[in-house]
């Protein structure tokens, strides 16, 4: 629960130090299961015991383990259980009654899915004051921890009017919020050992997730596990340092796995920086392997994750391509733990990835061969108990040797998974089984941010919500309007915040036509869900929760368009009089930007533009400006159009972002592409840019017929044995689009 902000990528441990003892029970060897974190912060209204049990049929198809919050009654109620008062006798909380809890555990057990309990024994809260832990009877014994079980270094000893702990000094980090238990104390150890035994034998849990294990020595987890004998044990040793996590695992005698925080931070850094090479670490300093504890020696005892309830609400939240990150995790060794908000938002796609993993038999000790590691590509072959898969993460247009499009079993933006093993279950990666909100409402300046009068969509169908005409006024003392989306109305914000919200990817993100939508689940940063910022006006708004994309169009901006020839009547006065490409093609000189060859109705076309590589780079970069000028000051005083993110890779199409005059104009984002000669089309009606390589020909001349062709499908993935269809074909330095019959 405490975070060391610094992330250090330490040298690998020696092979001898990482070897496993035959009787280590921390986590089964070659385990093929996938775990779900079945909650997030304050999600009791969404993932309480009865609500989870109602989804048992579906969840058990994909998950062998489900981690739930501490089920014993805590001081904070409602709360998340991290300040426990009771251990043995009171499991009635905001998450549900003890009867509902036992029913849920039994139901999942019948379906082959184990429930993992969040065990909080680093610290404990009193029943009526800071130190009065209740006496509880279980198995014919009364269990009680007194003042001698509280560390003498606990902050209670400096509080007037409170009893003081008389135990030994803390064996780990201090936790300010509850009393730190003295794990050197024999009575504390007996209470902890039997509490763990109670959870397994009486409640029916399959194993433990130990909370905040930095708070006490790892040797005590060894004691508790050797006594209670869980099949599954994982500790939250919150540290990005490989050596630190490995040392804790070693301290437990390898009687426990650990959450792979080094993996999580490597994923964060790789996607945030746009450098997928950070997904790879050197095993033993020589062999490329997936980053984290899984890269060398500890994959059996590593539980990988992209986000959890804590990281999701602080500065460690993953903000990149969620599906691509999950694809990397689910196609790597270790035991993956999928986060509930990711599951609920991308259920069908993650189902399919898990189905592929299960079909291949990928397990926590699977062998990985990294095939490619580049800024825009991670590709690896992973061997399971029943087959082999290849996963590619990134925008690179590459395919593995020996595989065809028919071998693709899961794919999406910047990820693709191939296997020749048959895959059953999991769906097809589509969204047929996704449940969308029954209603969606706009809230913002249009109704003075009043939760009771949010504006409902005019139509809602299959996850697409449309407002045909919404007046969006400027905020007080501002030139912009702000808004987001909520799934319910209510007389107070507490009501609205108890349900899901949808907003911008970043705070006050400027939108002029399209922008990505981000889910803010109920009670997770709900009151601070990011808003979009737009120019005031009257808009048609479409929120597509299938594609997680928002589109706004000013009512009256488009004239004509009533029939098939509507573009003939398009009013060009709504768009810039000219658009210019600026970039490596003219050394980023504002006075020599290249004007479009033609434009009509907001669509600007350059028929043949040579795009050379930037200096000391293998890529070319460009954006659009609306005027030329002798200096950048002139150009920056007018609108610019660029990429949605900095140096966004583009191979065919990409969204366009407007950078208004004098608003971040000098730092408008550019696109990144492979050098070549392109036809470029900038469509400001739909805010989309399209580039197509014009250096190829529709048919290859005889002189080129001796050059071995390389085929790519229309998604840019290499195809070694093309079947009938349309392909991009590369022969030497020539590129063509060809129909294979």
Encode pLDDT of 419-454 as tens digits: 999 987 544 444 434 568 888 999 999 988 998 899
Residues 6+ apart with CB under 8 A from 691: 650, 651, 652, 653, 673, 678, 679, 680, 681
CB 145 within 8 A of CB 154: no
Nearest to 341 by CA among 547, 502, 481, 581: 502
DSSP-assigned letter for residue 622: E
pLDDT recorded at residue 633: 77
In this structure, the strands spanning 207-210 and 232-235 are parallel
Confidence of residue 733 (pLDDT cuts 50, 70, 90): low
pLDDT by residue (tens digit) across 327-336?
999 999 999 9
CA distances from 333 to 7, 230, 292, 347 (A): 22, 22, 10, 21
- Beta-bridge partners for 459: 466
406-414's contacts with Cβ under 8 Å and 24+ in sequence apart are 406/723, 408/717, 409/352, 409/355, 409/356, 409/359, 410/327, 410/349, 410/352, 410/353, 410/356, 411/715, 412/323, 412/324, 412/327, 412/349, 413/321, 413/323, 413/324, 414/321, 414/324
pLDDT of residue 718: 66
CA 736 to each of CA 238, 611, 693, 721: distance values in angstroms, whole numbers, following the listed order: 52, 18, 9, 17
Confidence check: pLDDT of 2 > 50: no
Full set of structural domains in the chain with CATH: 441-554 (2.60.40.3620), 574-693 (2.60.40.3620), 702-740 (no CATH)
Residue 562 tokens, joined? 């009533």
Q: Which residues contact 138 (CB under 8 A, 6 or more apart)?
A: 88, 89, 194, 198, 202
| Structural contact between residues 361 and 389, judged by C-beta atoms closer than 8 angstroms | no
**Percentage of the residues of the chain whose pLDDT score is greater than 90:** 60
**Which band of pLDDT confidence, cut at 50, 70 and 90, is reported for residue 562?**
very low
The CA-based diameter of the chain, rounded to the nearest angstrom, is: 95
Residues whose CB falls within 8 Å of the CB of residue 729, separated by 6 or more in sequence, listed in order: 696, 700, 709, 710, 711, 712, 735, 736, 737, 738
Cα–Cα distances in Å, from 680 out to 104, 286, 730?
57, 43, 20
Percent of the chain with pLDDT over 70: 85
Q: Please give the Cα distance from 536 to 484 (Å, whole number).
A: 14
Contact 453/447 with Cβ under 8 angstroms? yes
Q: Cα(719)–Cα(403) distance, rounded to whole angstroms?
A: 7
Q: What are the structure tokens assigned to 556, written together?
A: 């009256």
For the segment 196-219, what is each residue's pLDDT rounded down to a tens digit? 999 999 999 999 999 999 999 999
Q: Which residue has the higher pLDDT, 147 or 461?
A: 147
Give the integer Cα–Cα distance in Å for 703 and 392: 35
Mean pLDDT rounded to a whole number for the chain: 86
Helices (H), 48-185: 49-54, 56-62, 98-110
Task: Report, as an integer, the average pLDDT of 138-147.
Answer: 97
603 strand-pairing partners: 600, 683
**For residue 577, what are its two tokens?**
């009089």
Whole-model pTM: value is 0.62
349-372 pLDDT per residue, tens: 999 999 999 999 999 999 999 999
State both tokens at 446.
């249009």
Average of per-residue pLDDT across 473-498: 85
Residue tagged 């079980």 (tokens): 149
Task: Tell whether the model's pLDDT for residue 22 goes beyond 60.
Answer: no
pLDDT, greater one: 32 or 730:
32
Q: CB under 8 Å to 287, separation ≥6 — which residues? A: none
Residue 558 has pLDDT above 50, yes or no: no
Given its phi and psi angles, is residue 55 left (phi above 0), alpha (psi -120 to 50 degrees) or beta? alpha
pLDDT digits (tens, 9 = 90+) for 63-105: 999 999 999 999 998 999 999 999 999 999 999 999 999 999 9
Q: For the segment 182-200, what is each residue's pLDDT rounded down to a tens digit?
A: 999 999 999 999 999 999 9
Token duo for residue 732: 């030497």
The span from the CA of 39 to the CA of 309, in Å, is 7
The string over 451-489, giving b where at least 16 C-beta atoms fall within 10 Å of a residue's C-beta and e elsewhere, is: beebbebeebeebbbbbeebebeebeeeeebbbbbbbbb
Distance in angstroms (rounded) separating the CA atoms of residues 715 and 727:
9
- Assigned token pair, 184: 């050197």
Among left, alpha and beta (phi > 0; psi -120 to 50; other), residue 713 is beta
Taking a C-beta distance cutoff of 8 angstroms, is the pair 1, 236 a contact?
Answer: yes
pLDDT at 551: 92
695-726 burial code (b ≥16 CB/10 A, e <16)? ebeeebeeeeeeeebebbbeeebbbeebeeee
Q: Which of 620, 555, 609 is nearest to 587 (CA)?
A: 620
Contact 196, 224 (CB under 8 A): yes
Closest CA to 329 of 69, 36, 28: 36
Q: For helices 261-273 and 322-330, give the axis angle rounded to 10 degrees.
A: 140
pLDDT in tens, 672-717: 998 889 999 999 888 889 998 875 433 333 334 456 787 665 445 5
Going by pLDDT thresholds of 50, 70 and 90, the confidence category of residue 614 is confident
Residue 202 near residue 232 (C-beta atoms within 8 A): no
Q: Which residues have a Cβ under 8 Å from the Cβ of 262 and sit 6 or more positions away?
A: 7, 9, 239, 240, 241, 242, 245, 291, 292, 293
User: Mean pLDDT across the stretch 507-527?
Assistant: 77
CA 262 to each of CA 98, 201, 253, 375: distance values in angstroms, whole numbers, following the listed order: 36, 33, 20, 20
Whether 415 and 425 have beta carbons less than 8 Å apart is answered as: no
């Amino acid at each position: 629960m405490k975070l060391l902000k610094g992330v250090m990528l330490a040298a690998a441990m020696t092979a001898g130090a990482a070897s496993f003892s035959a009787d280590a029970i921390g986590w089964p060897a070659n385990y093929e299961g996938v775990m779900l974190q079945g909650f997030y912060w304050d999600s009791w209204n969404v993932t309480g015991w009865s609500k989870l049990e109602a989804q048992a049929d579906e969840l058990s198809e994909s998950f062998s383990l489900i981690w739930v919050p501490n089920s014993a009654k805590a001081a904070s109620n409602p709360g998340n259980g991290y300040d426990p008062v009771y251990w043995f006798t009171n499991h009635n909380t905001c998450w549900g009654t003890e009867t509902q809890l036992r029913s849920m555990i039994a139901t999942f057990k019948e379906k082959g899915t184990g429930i993992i309990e969040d065990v909080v024994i680093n610290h404990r809260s009193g029943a009526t004051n800071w130190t009065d832990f209740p006496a509880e009877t279980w198995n014919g014994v009364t269990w009680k921890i007194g003042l001698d079980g509280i560390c003498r270094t606990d902050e209670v000893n400096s509080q007037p009017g409170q009893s003081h702990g008389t135990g030994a000094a803390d064996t780990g980090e201090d936790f300010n919020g509850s009393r730190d238990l003295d794990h050197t104390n024999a009575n504390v150890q007996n209470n902890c050992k039997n509490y763990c035994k109670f959870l397994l034998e009486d409640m029916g849990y399959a194993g433990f997730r130990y909370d905040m294990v930095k708070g006490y020595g790892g040797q005590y987890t060894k004691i508790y596990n050797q006594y209670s004998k869980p099949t599954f044990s994982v500790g939250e040793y919150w540290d990005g340092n490989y050596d630190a996590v490995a040392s804790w695992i070693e301290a437990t005698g390898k009687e426990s796995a650990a959450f792979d925080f080094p993996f999580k931070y490597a994923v964060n850094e790789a996607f945030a920086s746009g450098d997928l090479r950070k997904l790879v670490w050197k095993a033993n300093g020589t062999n490329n392997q997936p980053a984290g504890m899984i890269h060398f020696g500890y994959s059996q005892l590593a539980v990988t994750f992209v986000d959890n309830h804590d990281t999701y609400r602080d500065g460690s939240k993953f903000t990149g391509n969620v599906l691509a990150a999950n694809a990397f995790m689910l196609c790597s060794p270790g035991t993956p733990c999928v986060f509930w908000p990711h599951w609920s938002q991308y259920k069908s796609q993650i189902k399919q990835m898990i189905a592929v993993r299960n079909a291949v038999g990928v397990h926590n000790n699977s062998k990985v061969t990294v095939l490619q590691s580049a800024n825009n590509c991670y590709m690896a072959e992973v061997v399971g108990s029943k087959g082999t898969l290849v996963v590619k993460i990134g925008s690179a247009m590459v395919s593995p040797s020996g595989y065809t499009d028919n071998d693709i079993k899961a794919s999406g933006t910047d990820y693709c998974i191939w296997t020749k093993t048959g895959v059953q279950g999991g769906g097809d990666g589509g969204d047929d089984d996704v449940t969308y909100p029954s209603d969606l409402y706009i809230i913002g300046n249009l109704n003075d941010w009043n939760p009771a009068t949010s504006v409902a969509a005019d139509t809602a169908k299959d996850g697409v919500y449309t407002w045909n005409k919404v007046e969006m006024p400027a905020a007080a003392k501002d030139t912009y309007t702000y808004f987001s989306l909520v799934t319910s109305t209510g007389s107070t914000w507490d009501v609205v915040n108890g349900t899901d919200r949808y907003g911008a990817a970043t705070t006050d993100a400027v939108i002029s036509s399209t922008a990505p939508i981000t889910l803010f689940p109920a009670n997770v940063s709900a009151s601070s869900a990011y808003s979009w910022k737009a120019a005031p006006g009257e808009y048609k708004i479409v929120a597509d929760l299938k594609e997680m994309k928002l589109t706004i169009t000013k009512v009256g901006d488009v004239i004509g368009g009533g029939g098939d020839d509507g573009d003939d009547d398009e009013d060009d006065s709504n768009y810039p009089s000219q658009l210019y490409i600026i970039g490596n093609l003219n050394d980023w000189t504002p006075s020599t930007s290249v004007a479009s060859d033609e434009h009509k109705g907001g669509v600007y076309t350059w028929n043949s533009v040579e795009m050379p590589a930037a200096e000391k780079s293998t890529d070319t970069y460009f954006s659009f400006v609306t005027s030329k000028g002798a200096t950048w000051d002139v150009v920056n005083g007018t609108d610019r159009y660029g990429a949605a993110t900095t140096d966004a890779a583009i191979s065919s199409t990409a969204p366009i972002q407007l950078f208004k005059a004098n608003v971040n104009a000098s730092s408008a984002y550019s696109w990144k592409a492979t050098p070549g000669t392109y036809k470029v089309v900038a469509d400001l009606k739909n805010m989309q840019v399209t580039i197509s390589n014009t250096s190829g020909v529709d048919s290859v001349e005889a002189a080129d017929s001796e050059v071995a062709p390389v085929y790519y499908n229309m998604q840019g993935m290499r195809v070694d044995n093309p079947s009938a269809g349309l392909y991009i074909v590369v022969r030497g330095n020539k590129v063509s689009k060809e129909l294979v019959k």
